[in-house]
Structure 1
Amino acid sequence: MSRLPEPPVNTPEGEAYEARFDALVSEEYRLLSELAAMLAHTAQGQRIKAELILKLLPEHMAHSVIDEYDSNIKLVLSLARDLVRETAA
């Protein structure tokens, strides 16, 4: 949805767009929170979580006020890359 052109602000279309966007962000947050609470007992489950981290975290950080990845973020991304490589081998 964020790749589509936004309708003009302060119009019914713009308000509907914002409401839909907010609902999607809330749903994503809820689903990711549920996923984070689940234990990954298999290599496949760990790989799926790692792939999601590698896909979503850089995009999230692009919209963050933090200019650079701090060492904690770098460590999480490194671990995710290790898990993806490990299960691919």
Structure 2
Amino acid sequence: MFQMMSNDKLKSVEHRVVANEKGSRVSVACFFSNSLAPLTKLYGPIKELVSDENPPRYRETTVHDYMQYSLSTALDGAPRLLHLKL
């Protein structure tokens, strides 16, 4: 999401982790949320990073819609942001 909010100014990179010989590696994804935040708030590229010369590269979305899409698609390695790309 940060890449979307920066309008591709800051890029995410794919990374891979190799476990060492001492044992398996465990990765845990953590999501932080404020349950009091409205589910209808739109998130998109930061307005100061968008101009006529640098138009938005992603459409706005709500956290609810983004999570609904993410949970309904398979973990096939495709970036979730492609769904929002204009």
Q: TM-score, normalised by structure 2?
A: 0.24
Question: Which of the pair has the greater relative contact order for Cα pairs under 8 Å at 6+ separation?
Answer: 2
Instruction: Tell me which protein shows more strand as a share of its residues.
Output: 2
Q: TM-score, normalised by structure 1?
A: 0.23
Instruction: Tell me which protein shows more helix as a share of its residues.
Output: 1
* Bigger radius of gyration among the two: 1
